[in-house]
């Protein structure tokens, strides 16, 4: 574990990964984190001024993928309207660059990636990755 990282923040505590986004972020970029588990560590090191979104796709049975009102969900549910993203297609029209933060092991937490998205870069640190996409056709 890196110096200065707590056990709770360790999944996404790689300063290198978040700094990569911090250093390459452009105005109006969106950052989407795949899981509540990664979210808190990312938010802690984020210096972009942009509030990361938490990806909350529906479960396979159609139920909501949003955190419940217990455990760690209680820390973010009051911000639901600002941070939850239920579908990658629901990003604002005109969005041109999106950073996806997730586990690097298959399956892809964000699959399927929309067809009009083009991967620009990927950085993997441990079991975490960040991918930058440009969006076309919007």
- pLDDT one digit per residue (tens) for the chain, 138 residues: 344 443 334 444 467 889 999 999 999 999 999 988 888 889 889 999 999 999 988 788 877 766 666 656 666 667 777 888 999 998 987 789 999 999 998 999 999 999 999 999 999 988 899 999 999 854
> How do strand 84-85 and strand 53-55 relate by DSSP bridges?
parallel
pLDDT at 52: 95
SS3 128: strand
Q: What CATH fold (topology level) applies to the domain 10-135? A: Rossmann fold (3.40.50)
Are the CB atoms for 98 and 131 separated by under 8 Å?
A: no
pLDDT for 7 equals 35
Q: Residue 33: name the closest of 43, 22, 19 by CA.
A: 43
């Amino acid at each position: 574990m890196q110096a200065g990282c707590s056990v709770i923040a360790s999944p996404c505590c790689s300063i290198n990964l978040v700094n990569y986004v911090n250093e390459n972020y452009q105005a109006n970029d969106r950052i989407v984190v795949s899981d509540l588990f990664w979210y808190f560590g990312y938010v802690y090191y984020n210096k972009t001024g942009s509030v990361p979104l938490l990806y909350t796709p529906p479960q396979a049975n159609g139920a909501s993928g949003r955190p419940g009102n217990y455990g760690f969900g209680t820390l973010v549910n009051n911000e639901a309207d600002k941070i939850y993203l239920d579908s990658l297609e629901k990003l604002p029209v005109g969005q041109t660059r999106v950073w996806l933060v997730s586990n690097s092991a298959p399956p892809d937490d964000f699959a399927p990636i929309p067809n009009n998205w083009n991967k620009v870069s990927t950085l993997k640190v441990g079991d975490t990755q960040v991918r930058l996409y440009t969006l076309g056709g919007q």
